[in-house]
Amino acid sequence: MTGAAAEAIEEVYRDHWPRLVALILRQFQDLDIAEEAVQDSFVAALHAWARDGIPRDRFAWLAVASRRRALDRVRRRNASTRTAERLIATIETEQATDIESVSADDELSLVLACSHPSLAPDAQVALTLRCVAGMSPAAIARAFLVPERTLQQRLVRAKRKVRDSGLRLRPPIENELRERIDSALAVTYLIFNEGYASTAGEDLMRVDLTAEALFLGQRMLRLLPEDPDVLALNALMLLIDSRRDARLSTESDLIPLEDQDRSLWDQEKIFEGIRLLDTALRLGRPGRFHLEAAIAAAHATIVPEQEKWLQVVALYGELLRVHPSPLYELNRSVAVAMVYGPEAGLEIVRQLEGDAALTGYQWLPATKADMKRRAGLYEDAAVDYEKALTLATNPVERRYLQRRLNQVRSAKG
Based on the fold, state whether residues 154 and 85 are members of the same structural domain: no
Q: What is the mean pLDDT of residues 193-210?
A: 76
Alpha-carbon distance of 110 to 177, in angstroms, equals: 13
Question: Could you report the per-residue pLDDT of 297-309, keeping only the tens digit for each?
Answer: 999 987 778 889 9
> Which of the listed residues 173, 203, 224 is the one where a domain comes to its end?
224
pLDDT of amino acid 96: 44
Q: How far apart are CA 373 and CA 218, in angstroms?
A: 41
Q: What is the Cα gyration radius of the chain?
A: 25
Q: What is the pLDDT of residue 364?
A: 96
Same domain, 167 and 239: no
In this structure, of 53-62, 105-114, 251-260, the range with the lowest mean pLDDT score is: 105-114
The whole-angstrom separation of Cα 330 and Cα 322 is: 16
Domain with 129 in it: 103-224
pLDDT of 46 higher than 80: yes
pLDDT for position 91: 53
pLDDT of residue 1: 46
Q: How far apart are the first and last CA of the chain?
A: 68
- What pLDDT does residue 138 have? 80
How many CB atoms are closer than 10 A to CB 29? Answer: 16
Q: 345 and 395 in one domain? A: no
User: Which residue, 274, 296, 318, sits at the end of a domain?
Assistant: 296
Q: Are residues 137 and 199 in the same domain?
A: yes
The pLDDT of residue 86: 57
Using CB atoms within 10 Å of the CB of residue 218, give its burial: 0 to 12 exposed, 13 to 18 middle, 19+ buried: middle
Is residue 167 domain-shared with residue 94, that is, in the same domain? no
Q: What is the pLDDT of residue 122?
A: 82
Could you tell me the pTM of the whole model? Answer: 0.77
263 and 240 share one domain: yes
Among the residue ranges 57-66, 107-116, 326-335, the one predicted with the least confidence is: 107-116
- Split at pLDDT 50, 70, 90, the class of 172 is low
- Predicted confidence (pLDDT) at residue 95 exceeds the cutoff of 60: no
Q: Specify whether 213 is located in the same domain as 257.
A: no
Overall average pLDDT of the 167-177 stretch: 57
187 and 216 in a single domain? The answer is yes
Confidence (pLDDT) at 335 = 96
Number of domains in the chain: 5
Calculate mean pLDDT across residues 172-201. Answer: 76
**pLDDT value of residue 81:** 55
Q: Answer yes or no: do 110 and 217 share one domain.
A: yes
Give tens-digit pLDDT for 5-44.
Answer: 788 888 888 778 888 888 888 778 788 888 889 999 999 9
The string of DSSP letters for 82-125 reads: HHHHHHHHHHHTS-GGGGGG--HHHHHHHHHHHT-TTS-HHHHH
- pLDDT tens, position by position, 272-292: 999 999 999 999 788 999 999
Q: Categorize the per-residue pLDDT at 71 as very low, low, confident or very high, splitting at 50, 70 and 90.
A: confident
Percent of residues, the chain, with pLDDT higher than 90: 41
pLDDT digits (tens, 9 = 90+) for 344-388: 999 999 999 988 888 888 999 999 999 999 999 999 999 999 999
Average pLDDT, the chain: 85
- Same domain (yes/no): 316, 345: yes
Q: Rounded CA gap, 91 and 71, in Å?
A: 8
Backbone phi, psi, residue 158, to 5°: -65, -45
Section 93-114 average pLDDT: 62
Same domain, 288 and 327: no
Q: Considering 333, 353, 373, which residue would you say is the last residue of a domain? A: 353
Overall average pLDDT of the 161-169 stretch: 67
Of residues 293 and 178, the one with the higher pLDDT is 293
Q: pLDDT tens digit string along 394-412? A: 899 999 999 999 999 998 7
Q: What is the rounded average pLDDT of the residues 216-238?
A: 92
Check pLDDT > 80 for residue 264: yes
Position with higher pLDDT, 329 vs 152: 329
Same domain for 114 and 202, yes or no, is yes
pLDDT given for residue 78 in this prediction = 65
Q: What is the pLDDT of residue 405?
A: 96
- In Å, what is the CA distance from 32 to each residue of 111, 127, 166? 15, 11, 14
> Mean of the pLDDT values across residues 42-60?
88
Q: Which helix H or strand E contains 406, and what residues bound it?
A: helix 395-412
